[in-house]
Amino acid sequence: MKIVSIHERTVPLESETSNAAISFSTMTASAVVVEIETAKGRFKGLGFSSYGRYGHGGLLSERFIPRLLNAQPEDFIDQAEGNFSMLNFWNILMQNEKEGGHGERSGAVGVIETAMWDAWAKSEDLPLWALLARDVGHVDDGGVAAGETVIYGSGGHYRNDAVDTQNIADEARKCFDDGYAWFKIKVGGASTVLDNKRIEAAIRAAGTSELISIDA
């Protein structure tokens, strides 16, 4: 397997939303494309950095992308198995990085690793969950695999337009329609009166308070 190219673009979110501490209006994010070549052809993987943190173009272009592009194709191969090794990829990516490291580093590493997982899964013609099950496995706790995972939807940010109780209700309904088990909304960035109205709107949309949580 050969890494053909890696590209990062820092993009503005231009989101008119905020939480109790910060606005996302000037926030940026990193979009990464990793292209690999295998015996089966060329495949592109996509990675997008976390919403609510700035882009990581500086760290990626200065340290992480050059390390991967300077490595030889055989460096990514598990010599015992003769296959691509994500562990080898990780070791190259983290070469000469001290343990613990820096907070911003995890975002840069995460977005490029996400793109690599995506490219690798595509090259194997597998959804990522199946690739992980095949090559990484899972913690064996002796129980039967559940077959599904219950997760919550995070949203309910403040909007810059006006009182946003209708937005909160619409977002909560969409969250449940999409299959999420709970919905979490932001509080602490407005008056108690407005926050209570937002919480009440989310509860009405959910049908019960047991499905709504808050995040200050």
Is the domain of 36 the same as that of 129? yes
Q: Looking at the structure, tell me whether residues 125 and 156 fall in a common domain.
A: no
Which of 135, 166, 186 finishes a domain? Answer: 135
Residues 34 and 101 in one domain: yes
| Cα 67 from Cα 10, distance rounded (Å) | 20
CATH code at position 58 = 3.30.390.10
Q: What is the pLDDT of residues 121-163, one digit of tens each?
A: 999 999 998 999 888 877 666 666 666 788 999 999 988 755 6
Residue 158 lies in a domain: yes
Tally the domains of the chain: 2
Q: Would residue 143 count as lying in a domain?
A: no
DSSP state of 209: G
Phi, psi of 50 (to 5 degrees): -65, 140
How far is 216 from 19, CA to CA, in rounded Å? 8
Comparing 13-17, 25-29, 67-71, 108-112, which segment has the lowest mean pLDDT?
13-17
Q: Measuring CA to CA, how many Å separate 112 from each of 68, 117, 197?
A: 10, 9, 40
- If asked whether residues 106 and 157 sit together in one domain, one would say no
* Domain match, 112 and 188 both: no
Both 110 and 23 in one domain: the answer is yes
Q: Supply the pLDDT for residue 146.
A: 64
Identify whether residues 120 and 19 lie together within a single domain: yes
In a domain, 106, yes or no: yes
Q: What is the predicted pLDDT for the residue at 140? A: 67
Range of the domain at 28: 2-135
Instruction: Give domain status of residue 209, yes or no.
Output: yes
The reply to whether 48 and 127 lie within a common domain is yes
The predicted-structure confidence for 52-94, as pLDDT tens digits, reads as follows 889 999 999 999 999 999 999 999 999 888 889 999 999 999 9
Are 11 and 55 contacting, i.e. CB atoms less than 8 angstroms apart?
Answer: yes
Q: Is residue 144 in a domain?
A: no
Given this model, what pLDDT does residue 103 score?
81
